Each structure stands twice: as C-alpha cells, then as structure tokens.
Structure 1
C-alpha cells in the first residue's frame, strides 16, 4: 500500500507539490507495480539532491508474450515543468540491450521526454510511450544459460536477411550519456531461480533467436512447415513494426494538431475580444463625432451672430444669471489670483527677494484664504446643483 501522507510529505519541498502528487497518483493507480521512494540523485557535476522516484515494472508485450520491464523514473523538484529522468534497471539475471532509446548506463531517451511540455505531458503518457517503444525494441534480455546448443549436422535452409537472427536488428547509434553514478544501491525485487527477473513473471526476451523459431530437436533437418512458420513469424514481425511506426506517427500528428487547435482557440478568443473592443470604440467615436458636429454648428451660428453685432467689452460679456452664480464666479477668480500669488511668492523666495520668515507668514495667510474660498465654491456648487 502506498503511504499517501508520506508521499505528500516528500513532495512538500517541490515547486508544484499538488501537480506532482496528482501525476504520481494517476500513474500508480494504472500501474500497481510502481511504488514511490525518496532517495538522493547524483547529477553529472557531482552534486546531489533528494528526489522522489517511481520504481517497479511495466508490462511490455513482445511477440505475443507480456514481459515485466524494470524501470526507475526520477521526478525533478520542478515537476511537471521539467521532464523526469528515466532509467532501465536490469536485475542480476538480465543484460541491458543498448539501442537508440537506451544507452549503456540504462538511461532512457525518448522523443516524448525531449518534447516534454508541462501542459500536455504527464507520467501516464510517458509510461504508455515506453510500453509501445519497448514492445518493438526490448531494453533487456535474459542472460544465456550455460548449456551448449548442438546444431544439426545436415544442411539446413539459410535464413533470409532481415528475418531476425542472433542479436536481432542492428542498434542505431545514440550519443552516450553521463553514467548514473552513486546509485547502485537502488532496491529492486529479488530475482527468482526461474530466470524471470521477478517472482511469478514470464522470462525476459532472449538475447538471440528473435523472430526465427529453431528446428525441432532431434530432426536434423528443416521441414517445409518450419520454413512456413519462420516466414509467417518474420512477416508478422515486420507488419507489427510498420503498424507501430504508423501508430506513433499518427499520435505525434494528433498531438501537433491538438496543440494547433488549442492555439487557434486561444487566437479566436483574443480576436473576439479585439473585435468587441473595436466595435465599442467605433460606437464611442460615432457618438463623439455627432457631438462635435453639433458643437461646430453652434459655433458657426454664434460666429454669424457676433459678426452682425457691434463690438462689446469682454468684461461686460461675462455675466451671470443669478446672484449665486455671481458669488461662485467671484470666488473662483479670487482663488485663482491667490494661487498665482503663492506661486510668485515662491519665486521671490527662490530669487532671494524675501526672507523665509516673511514667505511662511504670507503663504500661511494666503493659504487660509484659499481654503475658505474653495469651501465657499463647494457650497455654492452644491446649492446650485452642479457637480462637485
């Protein structure tokens, strides 16, 4: 049983503990053989950090037989923002098979890890990709037994190239990774005497004879049915490999299309918001344009009236319709004059025309008058029903 309280305690120091816990729980619910542990991981520069790893086996189907491949998935403290570090951990009765997906140290290289995106990638998807990839190229094989096989002495039919053989297909080169040092004491399930690697599990894929059945012991010759079975097995293997390649390619295309769809949806939302904003601005502009046209017409009418009238005094033109408005106008003019007086008092102090004591005394008196005038203007506007 998984101690979820302890697992949350281990993940407390992670940057996104809730997201990491959800990802781990989902993977463990689908694959009961995977269990979490907390251990020190040593990086390539020699530094170490206590991290949580997921260790156990995953079921891999190879030629119709399900094998349990031992793996170890290390979660970085920035998970899920950064991809985890994955290893194949062969037991004592297994040998590591190096390929373009697994290096000599057991470190796993997959396009899913290289293209890891926190919003679209998770541990469950990573394990699914491992199962499909290892189903085509098993990362481990059983150690050969000490018994010596005696080949028949009679002539046999040669096996065509590409139909399998000792060691399987040639491994593609892959840049070697830095060895995973200091972690040799990671615990695994104890191997059994049956050569399976784990108690009750079927044996791991043999090192040789992938896809080509051996002739029956004691016959000395290869019969027609042997050749037929060999050809059928080779064709099935080739079709299965092609089908898996096609499935992986379609999955990659679907992921690309999904990302494109998400981007298009986000772009549509942004465009709709921009269109709504532009429509609102267009309405506001039309409204302001009508107001400007009305004001322009009023100005033209006023200009025509002014041209027909005699010259007049500007001071006489500024008149009010009520005593309250006249009081408001006089208070505003006096407050503006006090504002100018305070400004020029400051300029006089800066130029050294007056002393600081005189400046402070006069500014205090003028400010008191200005405060009273502003209060009077506020009362007048309130009484007249104007905006304050």
Structure 2
C-alpha cells in the first residue's frame, strides 16, 4: 500500500534535522508504515533510563499476533532512537481501554516494556549498517523486529481481559432498595411521630458530610411508622395519621445530582475548547512543514545514491581485473622461480664453476687490480660504519674504537692512492 506524499514529506522533514542517518531511518519507517497500515507516526518526548528527555519519532497503533489460532491486534508504541540503527528501537505494550490490562511475562515487564533476544543482539548485528540493500527488502531490520515481537506475543500473550466488578447492593440494583411511600413528612417536626418499637435496632449515628449519601428524591421522602407494633422484617413504613401537619421539606442542592451534572458539562466544554485549540496549532505546524518543498532534496539524494552505486560497480570491476592480473603474475613468478631453482641445482653439481673468480676476469691484469682495489675500499667503508655503530651502542669501548678506526683509515688511504695511480696510468676518468 502506497503512502500519501504529504506524510512522506512530513516524515523526512522530522527525521532530517536531528537523526544521525535520516535516509536509512526514513526508508525503514516508510516500509513499516506500508506493511502495517494500523501503525501511525508521530513525535513525542521520550524519557530514557537516565532521565534525559528527547523528542523522538514514534509509531503507535497495533500489530497482529496469532494466539491459539486466533488473530489479535496488540496495541504497541515503537520509539525510534536518534542514532538508529546503532541503537535498537524501544517498544512498549500500551493497552488502549479499560477492558484489558498488562500480563507481565518473559517478554513484557510490569511497565509494558518489551524484551527479546533479537533486541539484545541488535547492536552487534545492525549497529554498523549505513544503507539498505534494495535486493533484500524482506530482511529489513525493523520489519524483522516487528515480526519477531508479534511471534513472541503469540507464544506468551501480553494482555488479559479485566473482569467487571460486582454491583454494589442498594445503589446499582434498584430492585434491592426498599419501597418508600409517596407522602412527604418531616420526622423531626411531626407532632405524631413516635419512637420505634424496642424490637428494632437503634438508628445509626449521623455521618460526616463527606461520607453522607445524597438524599432521596423529593417524590419519595422518608416516613417513620407511628405504630409501636412494627417488626424488623417490615421494609415499608406507614403514613402518618390524618390531620397531621406536614411541613415543607427543602431539597439539599449541595449534594444533589444537579451540581455533578453541571460540573460534567463544564469539564466537557473545557475539553472541547482545548481540543479545538490543539487542532488549530497542529494544523498551523503542518502547514509550516509543508511549505518547504523537499522533493528537490530527495531527487538530489537519489542522484547521489545512483552515482555512488555506479562508482561501487566500477570499483568492483576494477578489483576483479586486478585479481585476474595478480593470478597471472603469480603463475609467471612461480614458473621463473622453478626455473631458477633448477638452474641453481644444476650449477651446484657442476665442478667447472667452482672457481668462479677465475672465470669472471677483466681484459687486463691492471683492470683486475683496479677492480680488487675498489672492492677493498668499499669493504673498508662498511667495516668503519659497523665499528661506529657498535661504539654508539656501547658494544665496544672508545679506546678499541679509535685503534681500529685509525688502522682501517690508513689502509683506506693506501688503497685510494694506489687506485688513483692506476687510473692515471691507464688514462680513464675517476668517477
């Protein structure tokens, strides 16, 4: 089911300013709203475990769960954190009427908060996600979370039905109330009223005002029996004798139902006025949000995503090309190594190459002598460098260092002098 364009604009406008990854969050929430039409988005202030208040996006409504082969709708609220998907959503079961109450179990605590191993492992599985794979829509993280929670509710139902309380005798059942006479008599002022017979219990003491029940209707006033022969089983009281003066009984307006109905009407009017004011403010806020057109921004983001997709495809092709070239070069290198190993093995068995220095010689004896002097000079330089490093590291003392350095320097001087003499005699430049 498609979502209205106005809802998508509002959703992205809410996520963009403060959510760390608004594009991914927008995609996940849109998918949930399309899958579960009973869920609606809204923004509310959420207080975390540390007592910090945050304005978060929440999804409220109901999700289906199958319990004993019967499908029920469970009311829930899903809070989306600011660093989603690095942090997992928080889910609460929220009974929406007085007929059902929470049933704490392995998945729901007494406050309605939902727990599940899928939520506990959320960060390790989805914490590093940066984008969605369009080929794996059915494996969306938020969609799987709602499905897993629905299955858990099917195993252990989070709600149970509240039973109605029994009726209070004498108030809710009018048949249990004694039938009162219709004549009005004030028992305190009647000259013919007498004390009841001794077989009846004494009257109860007067209750405080806050515990007094409202007086009966004026059409049914109380009337005491003027006969001294009444019994406890008698429920109705006889009327006064003829000729008795009946004073007017004033109705208690303070404790009457008129005051309660008047207060109810006043509260209803206040709630109606408050609802209208909130509706006007909400409509103004939505108009302000809709004034900014986000379609160009969404189109720009879509182009950037497509460009990144093409770049990733090119990088993938380049990586495959380099892998192929590496395999070819590896095969060539292995073949050359095997050839070199075979040649070394053959040469090691050939006795004619034992005296390699006698085979590789220069054109004249002077050139051979010049070659030897150059190699000797290089070896003296390397030896002096090694002795210097040993002295710096403390391996040899200063006296020994100076002794060998002077000796090697003298040998180097003689080698360099002889080398210059040979170069001058054969007529080549000294490079």
Note whether the superposition's TM-score is higher than 0.5: no
Structure exhibiting the larger radius of gyration computed from Cα positions: 2
Larger RCO (CA under 8 A, 6+ residues apart): 1
Q: TM-score range by the shorter chain?
A: 0.3 to 0.5
* TM, length-normalised to structure 2: 0.38
